[in-house]
Structure 1
Amino acid sequence: MIANLRLGYRVAALLVALPGGLLLHGLWRLLRRPSPWPRRFLAAVAHIVGARVRVLGTPCAGNVVFLSNHLSWIDILAIAGATGSAFVAKGELRGVPLVGWLCTLNRTIFVTREDRLQVTAQIDRLRAAIATGQPVTLFPEGTTGDGTTLLPFKAALLAALDPPPPGVVVQPIRLDYGEAADLAWVGEEPGLAHALRVLRRRGRFAVTLRLLTPFDPAAAGGRKAIAAQARAAIVDAG
């Protein structure tokens, strides 16, 4: 009963925040000004669902590709709020109620890693996004982990950085949910079930973003070396 009341309260808060965010975003677009409102709205959504985001380190402010470990869809809310980043995310996320639509607000690039016939097109889309100068985040594990073990990094999409656009750097991010590691979205749990579990959860939980030392991808020596260097930095920060 109490959990359902908590769910109702959080959904109501989201529905209240949404029109204001859309109105302000539309106004900025009408004035042809860069809109800060998707970033601020996604940060507000993270707060509503219970996340209290702590940022350690300084995010690069443009011409940057963030490479992060991946725990759940909450990662997107937290990283977007802290950095203004767009994302490369698995295609299944598009179909998650509300979450998928929120991702589109921040120009998420949805990919299907299993579809090898589309890899080249996906790399081209990613390279074009990086070239705009907006920060872009990839989750090179290719799926979500349990928060205790860092999975191998898949380097296929990092071909967009081999060679990198001029001036682009890579900045690794280590995400940590602390005592809320049970919120990791792993196994066969459906997306809607996971979203409802988060919204019904009691209390708040800490999400720590460790913004690690950026490096030049051109000096790393190719996509596999970029993946290895970023993964090693995230492991060392654990």
Structure 2
Amino acid sequence: MAAEALRTDQRISPWGWPLIAVRLTVLLTWLIGCLLLHHLVALFSTPNPIPRLFLRGAGMIAGLRVRTHGKRTDERTFLLSNHVSWLDIPALAGSTGTAFVAHEGLARVTLLRWLCKLNDTVFVARERRTSVAEQVRQVRDALTESGALTIFPEGTTSDGTGTLPFKSSLLSALEGDAGVAVQPVWLDYGTETPAIAWIGEESGLHNALRLLARVRPIHLDVHLLTPLSPDERADRKRMARAAHSAIARARAGQHRTPPVTE
């Protein structure tokens, strides 16, 4: 991306690069330690909690400070969340223990695919309509194995000031399955949202480096909203509309319940 395409507030200051170097070093050390622990714990525990621990720690190293409002249901849970930044992933994994549904483009990067698979990520190709049935099967299997699975139904990141329309195809996996709770999630970065969001012409790599260069912490409120009712779950399109509306209502009311965890 050409430098002139960046907004002024998207440029990395000269003093930001040393902070990036320090954080990347700490992240690498944390990754190596967690990988060793992951293989040890795998001998005794299934599912393995270490990938979620790694993501939570990675978010903290990047400057993320999460407050969780509400609780994930105790049963198998499908979380439908708005999407602002790559930081959404460590925040949700750390606060709910969820795995994720991700676009198959990530799977083309060998290291990212390997790391995502450790956290039981399901890769899908939304643009290939012929593969929906197989993707629905994968989602059902992942829910059984992980207990919680998150999808970002906007299909991309947004500027956080609104919620893009929700895509509903993968919600077919939940039709007729009353044993899985469907819970909307609103991720709120507050007044810092425009500075955090990954949108426009900015590359993913530049966005990641820019956030790692921040001196100020990044505060995020994770709002686990009320699960959808049986009527709201009648079909996949109704689920998508109901979850979208729940997040929009929370945003409009600036929903502020006392945090459950820090």
TM-score (norm 1): 0.92
In structure 2, the residue matched to 1:143 is: 156
Aligned partner of 2:170 among 154, 157, 167: 157
Per-residue deviation, 1:101:
4.5
Q: Distance in 2 between matches of 1:158 and 1:18?
A: 33
Moved more, 143-152 or 60-69: 60-69
CA deviation digits over 1:68-111, x for unaligned, max 9?
A: 00112111110000011010122233456965554332111121
Check the 8 A contact 1:73/1:99 in 2, yes or no: no
Q: Does 1:176 align with 2:165?
A: no
Q: Does 1:167 align with 2:179?
A: yes
1:208 and 2:221 aligned = yes
The 2-side partners of 1:96 and 1:133 are apart by 23
Structure 2 residue matching 1:60: 3-state secondary structure: coil
Flag structure 1 segments of 5+ consecutive residues without an equivalent.
Answer: none
TM-score, normalised with respect to structure 2: 0.84
Q: Distance in 1 between matches of 2:179 and 2:61?
A: 36
- Structure 2 CA distance for partners of 1:177 and 1:64, relative to 1, 3 Å: same
Runs of 4+ deviating beyond 6 Å? none
Which moved further from structure 2: 22-31 or 151-160?
22-31
Following superposition, the deviation at residue 150 of structure 1 comes to 0.6
| RMSD, matched Cα | 1.9
User: Could you tell me which of 134, 146, 159 is aligned with 2:147?
Assistant: 134
Q: Which residue of 1 aligns with 2:119?
A: 106
Identity across aligned pairs (percent)?
46
Distance, in Å, in 2 between the alignment partners of 1:102 and 1:203 is 28
CA distance in 2 between partners of 1:156 and 1:33 (Å): 30
Partner of 1:69: 82
The CA deviation at 1:35 is 2.2
Name whichever of 53-62 and 78-87 sits farther off: 53-62
Q: 1:133 to 1:168 in 2, by over 3 A?
A: farther
Residue 51 (structure 1) shift: 0.7
Which residue identity does 2:181 align to in structure 1? V
Q: Shift of residue 130 of structure 1?
A: 1.8
User: Which residue number in structure 2 is paired with residue 12 of structure 1?
Assistant: 25
Q: Does 1:56 align with 2:46?
A: no
Q: What are the equivalent positions in structure 2 for 1:26-65 lying under 5 Å apart?
A: 26-65=39-78
For the pair shown, the structure with the greater C-alpha radius of gyration is 2
SS state at 1:80 partner? helix
Q: 8 Å contact 1:173–1:234 — kept in the other structure?
A: yes
1:132 aligned counterpart, secondary structure: helix
Is 5-14 or 191-200 further displaced after alignment? 191-200
Q: CA deviation at 1:212?
A: 0.5
Name the count of aligned residue pairs. Answer: 237
Query: Partner letter of residue 185 of structure 2?
Result: I
- For residues 40 and 231 of structure 2, the distance between their equivalents in structure 1, rounded to whole angstroms, comes to 39
